[in-house]
Amino acid sequence: MVKKAGVLGATGSVGQRFILLLSNHPDFEIHALGASSRSAGKKYVDAANWKQTELLPESAKNIKVVECKPQGVFAECDIVFSGLDADYAGSIEKEFVEAGVPIISNAKNYRRELDVPLIVPIVNPEHLSIIEKKVTDAKAAGKSKIGYQICISNCSTAGLVAPLKPLVEAFGPIDALTVTTLQAISGAGFSPGVSSIDVLDNIIPYIGGEEDKLEWETKKILGNVNATKTEIVNIPEDDLKVSAQCNRVAVSDGHTECISLRFAKRPAPSVEQVKQVLHNYVCDAFKEGCHSAPKQTIHVLEEQDRPQPRLDRNRDNGYGVSVGRIRQDPVLDFKMVVLSHNTIIGAAGSGVLIGELLLARNLI
């Protein structure tokens, strides 16, 4: 049965992406679009300054935008995707969860709460067992409606952890990791987003809060659920050193990340083994039949000048991650270039795929 989906922050950059992905989706139908009081009451086509390269879907044009309140149409939703700015997400999402509405949020506000799963759906869907327990407990307690919070990871984190997960599974813990990112402008939204004077013939070697997110979120996403299925146990600080340097560049979509990593165990695997493991990795979302799950989770590219954002960002509709130039590293063990689509696997797309996982697991 098609589930009713709501979108919070529907007029913003992430919200627009949610609408694109949910339109014509076999599992979801857009039931509620929420935005600020300035937009509330308008038809979506009039409220939004649509900036996507795909046209605004006809089915969404005439939906009436409402305020972001967990009543009315939003109360009828099976799942609500949030593209709210961090300034508003904190209180609004809390209100929704308390009202019994499940939230999948792109905002950073609750990512560090240990009882909130921080999910990259092609990487750590097993962390959803926390949600499974919540739902099971609620049902056992006779509750028909249960709210919960799930967070989508930061965009550059999603690309980074994609190859790490299968490598750790195959070769044991990684104890050191450096990453230098070249991040697309779409990650910064468009009201106003990145000023053109900042990226035309230029690089901005700084993105506020980004390095810290990369360094911290990695340890949570690669961590484990505790025995009681109530919290995530992060990888301890001392077991995994992560160092990030983040740059904004003149690319529309697609984050490029130059990474180096070292395994804790000796001897380290060979380049060929690393490639094989990445190539063979099949994410659970695909195994569970999720509609948007990539057929090939990680594309191992052999051409010496790939991956490139313009040529590779849309593999598997942006749900596949590309890894190229896998080679030995004189300082750590291996270096490689990772490319991921920041608005798909790095934001709204991950949100939708998390929704598909919940559905596949009967959690919505």
Cα(15)–Cα(19) distance, rounded to whole angstroms? 6
Judged by beta carbon, residue 118 or residue 185, the one nearer its own copies is: 185
The end-to-end CA distance of the chain, in Å, is 11
Structural element, H or E, at residue 103: strand 103-105
Which residues ranging from 21 to 60 are in contact with its own copies (CB under 8 A)?
A: 51-55
Cα(155)–Cα(25) distance, rounded to whole angstroms? 23
CB atoms within 10 A of CB 336: 23
Instruction: Please report, to the nearest 10 degrees, the dihedral formed by the alpha carbons of residues 178, 204, 184, 159 taken in order.
Output: 10
Q: Which string of x and - marks every residue 215-244 that binds its own copies (by CB under 8 A)?
A: x-------------------------xxx-
Question: Is residue 178 at the binding interface for its own copies, with CB under 8 A as the rule?
Answer: yes
**Would you say the C-alpha torsion 88, 90, 95, 101 has a positive or negative sign?**
positive
The answer to whether the beta carbons of residues 115 and 126 sit under 8 Å apart is: no
**Strand, helix or coil at 228?**
coil
Piece of 57-65, 74-82, 137-145, 307-315 that binds its own copies (CB under 8 A): 307-315
Nearest approach, Cβ of residue 45 and its own copies (Å): 11
Tell me the sheet residues that pair with 4. Answer: 29
Piece of 114-122, 153-161, 184-192, 279-287 that binds its own copies (CB under 8 A): 184-192
Which residues ranging from 254 to 273 are in contact with its own copies (CB under 8 A)?
A: 256, 258, 260
Piece of 20-28, 117-125, 264-272, 300-308 that binds its own copies (CB under 8 A): 300-308
Active site residues: 155, 255
Q: Which string of x and - marks every residue 74-93 that binds its own copies (by CB under 8 A)?
A: --------------------
Nearest approach, Cβ of residue 73 and its own copies (Å): 28
Nearest approach, Cβ of residue 332 and its own copies (Å): 7
Q: Closest by alpha carbon to 89, among 14, 199, 22?
A: 14
Judged by beta carbon, residue 53 or residue 144, the one nearer its own copies is: 53
- Cα separations in angstroms, 243 against 148, 158, 211, 223: 32, 16, 8, 18
Piece of 3-11, 102-110, 129-137, 326-334 that binds its own copies (CB under 8 A): 326-334
Judged by beta carbon, residue 78 or residue 253, the one nearer its own copies is: 253
DSSP letter assigned to residue 55: P
Near its own copies by CB under 8 A: residue from 43, 308, 317, 361: 308
Strands of 17-70 (E only): list them.
28-35, 65-67
Question: Is residue 245 at the binding interface for its own copies, with CB under 8 A as the rule?
Answer: yes
The dihedrals phi and psi of 158, each to the nearest 5 degrees, come to -55, -45
The residue written with tokens 């935008």 in the block is: 65
Question: Is residue 180 at the binding interface for its own copies, with CB under 8 A as the rule?
Answer: yes
Q: What are the residues binding its own copies (CB under 8 A)?
A: 51-55, 176-178, 180, 182, 185-186, 190-206, 215, 241-243, 245, 247, 249-252, 256, 258, 260, 304-311, 314-315, 324-325, 329-332, 335, 337
